[in-house]
Amino acid sequence: MAKSDGCDYFKRTSLFWIVAVTLGMGYYTCIVFAPEKIPFEYLGPYGTFCKYLVDNHAGIMYKGWWAAWAVHVFEACVALRVCGNKGITNMVTRCLWFVQTFLFGFASLGLLLKYDPERPKQH
């Protein structure tokens, strides 16, 4: 079987990070946009802390939510750049890296940064 030239390298991030980032960003979104839906009293000290943030720092939480998504957009753009630098030229693969990194951040970007394509030997 012929070796791949690396132009279509893609690796899915682990299920742990998919679940953790999805739940974390989902919870943060609920805290910012629908805090009345969260049963803070059942979450113990963490719920008390989150209720305090909602009641006293809602503006900062809102700005932090936008900042978190801005960081994800930035990481996704970096992923496109890294794809180019590592010789990943297949557009579908580049889009997969972009979307995965946008959704899961550094959990995805880290996999791409670790990728070390074999360079052709120069004579």
The per-residue pLDDT for range 30-55, each reduced to its tens digit, is 999 999 999 999 999 999 999 999 99
Total number of domains constituting the chain: 1
pLDDT in tens, 62-71: 999 999 999 9
Global pTM reads 0.83
Assess if residue 74 is contained within a domain: yes
Query: What is the rounded CA–CA span in Å between residue 123 and residue 120?
Result: 9
Q: Is residue 67 part of a domain?
A: yes
**Domain containing 61: what range?**
15-114
Percent of the chain at pLDDT > 90 equals 85
Measured distance CA(51)–CA(47) in Å, rounded: 6
| pLDDT of 4 strictly over 60 | no
Specify if 26 maps to a domain. Answer: yes
**Is 45 buried (19+), middle (13-18) or exposed (0-12) by CB count in 10 A?**
exposed
Residue 100 lies in a domain: yes
Please indicate, yes or no, if residue 94 is contained in any of the structural domains. yes
